[in-house]
Structure 1
C-alpha cells in the first residue's frame, strides 16, 4: 500500500517530491519512517525496469519521467519547437556552472568579450542561475551561481555529477569534427529566444569581406574603363556598385553579440520528458 500511495503522489505532482513532502502525505499515527519510504521508492524503481517510464532522483527529489529512448516520440505531442541558445549564452552558463560564484566582469575577462545583459536575464528567467552574493570589491558586483531548478532540468542530483573539464574538452573536440556547417539557421524568432542583442556587437564582428579593397582597385579607374562602351547602362547596375556578385547575399552579423556563429545546439535535453 505504501508504494501505491507514493506512486500516486509522484504521478500527480508537477515537480519532484522529496522525502519530507512524501512523509507529509500521512497522518502522524500512520506515518512511515524515512527508511521505509526509501525502501518503497526503490521497489517502485524496480517495478519500472520494463516500463517506458522510470523513477529518478534529482536535486529536488523523486519524479517519474519518460525514458530517453522514447522522449523524441513523446515530444511530438507538443508542436512548439525547443528553444535554441547562442554559443555566447551556453559559454556564459558553463562558466557560471564550473566557476561559481562568479561575477559578470570575471566572465567577460575569461571570454574576452562583453556579456549581454539579455543573456543573464534569459538564464535567470529560466531559473538556471541566481545572484548568490556580492564580491567585496569596489562596486560590489553581483556573483552568480546555479539553482536547484538547473539541477532538476539537467537531470542531476548535485554538481558533483557534472562531467569533468577533461570530458568536456573531449566533447568539444568531437563537436568540432562534426559537419555542422550546413545546419539550418534557426531564424529571427530563435535569435530572440537565445537572448541575443544587436547592441552588444563589437566592431570586430564586421566581416572584412564586405569592404574588400579589391572592389576599389585602380584597375576599375583605368582610362579603358571610361570608354563609351564601359558607360553602358549594364555597367552601372546596382550589383556592380555594391561589390557583391549577382545572386549573393552578404552575411548578416546582427544576430550574435559575440561575433560567433549562432550555435545550432538545442537547449539541453533532459534525460526524459517529465511526467509532471
Structure 2
C-alpha cells in the first residue's frame, strides 16, 4: 500500500451527524421509552447515520449522577433505573412477589458464582441431584439461560445468569452478587422456615438457611 493511499481521508457521510447534545436527547428518549435494557448496537441502528451513541451515553450517564434515576449499565446493555438508595420508595408498587424454593435459590447461587456451569457440576457442588422443575422455573423467570456447550465428552450444556437477573438486582455484572439479606429484602425468601418444617427439593435433601448464607457470601 502506498503512502498516499494510507493518508487518504475516509469517505465522508452524505449526512452530517446531529450535535452531541441532540444525540444525548435521542439516547435519553430511547432508554426512557424502552422497558428492557438497550445495547449500543440497538442504539446505533435507531439513531441517525454517523451518531456516536457510546459517547452520548457517557455524557448522559454523568448528567444523571446524583439524580433520582440513573443511566445504568446492565451487562452489555444500558437502561434508566431508579437510584439504588431510593429503591425503598418503589416497594408499594410491587403487586406480587414470586418466592423461590431453597433448592432453586441454591441452584441459582451456584450458577451465578460458577458460570458457565453444567448440571453435573451444580449437582456436585450441592451434593444432591437437581430436579428438572428447578431448572425450568429459573429459565421461565428468565433468570438463567443456556450457555455454550462444553467441549468434553457428551458436550453438556452450561447455564449462565441473564441480564434480567442482573437488572432485577441492579447489578452491572455477575461479579457483584446479592447476599441472602438482599434476597430476603426483595421478598424472595421467607425470614425463617415454618416451625417444625424443612423444605426438601425433588431429591429429598433438606436445605438450611445456613447453607444458603454460605452460598451467597464470598
Write out per-residue CA displacement over residues 115-141 of structure 1, whole angstroms, 9 at most, x where no aligned residue. 222211111112222233266436x64
The equivalent position to 1:65 in structure 2, one of 66, 81, 89, is 81
1:53/1:66 contact within 8 Å kept: yes
**In the TM superposition, what is the alpha-carbon distance from 1:90 to its structure 2 partner?**
2.0
The equivalent position to 1:74 in structure 2, one of 61, 65, 90, is 90
Correspondences of 1:1-276 after superposition (within 5 Å): 1-28=22-49, 31-32=50-51, 34=52, 37-80=53-96, 82-132=97-147, 133=149, 136-137=152-153, 141-159=156-174, 161-162=175-176, 183=191, 251-253=196-198, 255-257=199-201, 258-261=205-208
More helix by share: 1
Distance 1:17 1:147 in 2: 14
**In the TM superposition, what is the alpha-carbon distance from 1:111 to its structure 2 partner?**
1.5
Q: Cα distance 1:60–1:123, how it changes in 2: closer, same or farther (>3 A)?
A: same
Write out per-residue CA displacement over residues 141-191 of structure 1, whole angstroms, 9 at most, x where no aligned residue. 4432333433343434444x336xxxx9xx68xxxxxxxxx9365x8xxxx
Q: Secondary structure at the match of 2:67?
A: coil
**Runs (5+) with no aligned partner, structure 1:** 173-181, 188-249, 266-276
**Runs (5+) with no aligned partner, structure 2:** 1-21, 181-189, 213-218
Write out per-residue CA displacement over residues 31-59 of structure 1, whole angstroms, 9 at most, x where no aligned residue. 32x3xx33322222232234211111111
Point out which structure has higher relative CO (alpha carbons under 8 A, 6+ apart).
1
Distance 2:117 2:103 in 1: 16
Q: Secondary structure at the match of 1:24?
A: helix
1:2/1:40 contact within 8 Å kept: yes
Distance 2:144 2:197 in 1: 31
1:104/1:143 contact within 8 Å kept: yes
Distance 1:129 1:118 in 2: 13
Q: Cα distance 1:155–1:57, how it changes in 2: closer, same or farther (>3 A)?
A: same
2:74/2:163 contact within 8 Å kept: no
Q: Secondary structure at the match of 2:65?
A: coil
Write out per-residue CA displacement over residues 195-236 of structure 1, whole angstroms, 9 at most, x where no aligned residue. xxxxxxxxxxxxxxxxxxxxxxxxxxxxxxxxxxxxxxxxxx
For normalisation by structure 2, the TM-score amounts to 0.66
Larger radius of gyration: 1
RMSD value over aligned CA atoms? 3.1
2:72/2:172 contact within 8 Å kept: no
Distance 2:46 2:122 in 1: 44
Question: How many pairs are equivalent?
Answer: 177
